Structure 1
Amino acid sequence: MHSAAKAYGQVAQQIANPRELEARLLLKAAARLQHVREDWDKDPSDLGEALLYNRKLWSVFLTSVTSPDHEMPAAIRQNIANLGLFVMNHTIEISRDPRPEALVALININREIAAGLLGQP
């Protein structure tokens, strides 16, 4: 987990806008999950790696928004934390009972949060 946070921090320093970085990472995770979903019948072997990437990303978000010195309003932080907990629990469910349609929720959450971070409707 530490390596994911470290990598996130290093990339964040290279990009001026942290919101844009977060959006890009969420879109990358969504794309990986979408690829697994689309190729499920051919080869679902990338499922574990895609779920792991998404889980690490959300772990970083959860750690960040639950920090008492985070600048975001408490209500928004709570909403992000709740989404993060859903993502974690849903990931466990998918790991127990892998189904391509179960990936849709994770893909949509990542895309919607990314759109919000980028200021898109």
Structure 2
Amino acid sequence: MSYGASAYARVAQTALSPREAEAAVLIKAAGRLQTIQEDWQNQSGALNEALNFNQKVWTIIAGAATAPESQLPIEIKTSIAELSTFVFKRMIDTMIDPKAEKLSALININHQIAAGLRT
């Protein structure tokens, strides 16, 4: 039975649309940040790793959305660029002056964008 379940899991992973894959990665990044936020006292260096992962995710999203060949409307390209700028600034601010509450905005943004990608 477990063979069938693992085979299904592999197919499900490869059958994701690009939007679903982007949403899944955003949720993964949010989950990492949320785990750190919930256990702030014991995060022991994991914060920068989670922020770096989130930065990579947002670099890819911003790059793909704002690329000249992107077929997104200019308004959406602009909005994603502005949101990315906010995300990058918040990540840098959190690295410089770490506080658990600073992660809330990043977690929320990732969840909101992921939800939008799934609709």
Tell me the TM-score normalised to structure 1 length: 0.83
Distance (whole Å) between structure 2 residues aligned to residue 15 and residue 77 of structure 1: 27
Q: TM-score, normalised by structure 2?
A: 0.85
Counterpart of 2:43 in structure 1 is: 43
Gaps of 5+ in 2: 1-13
Matches within 5 A, 1:53-92: 53-92=53-92
Residue identity (%): 44
Amino acid in structure 2 at the alignment position of 1:34: Q
Contact 1:94 1:102 (8 Å CA) reproduced: yes
SS in 2 for 1:41: helix
* Letter in structure 1 aligned against 2:91: T
> Runs of 4+ in structure 1 displaced over 6 angstroms?
none
1:60-117, CA deviations, whole angstroms, 9 ceiling, x for partnerless residues?
A: 1111112111011111111111111111111110011000000000000000000011
Larger radius of gyration: 2
Unaligned runs of 5+ in 1: 1-13
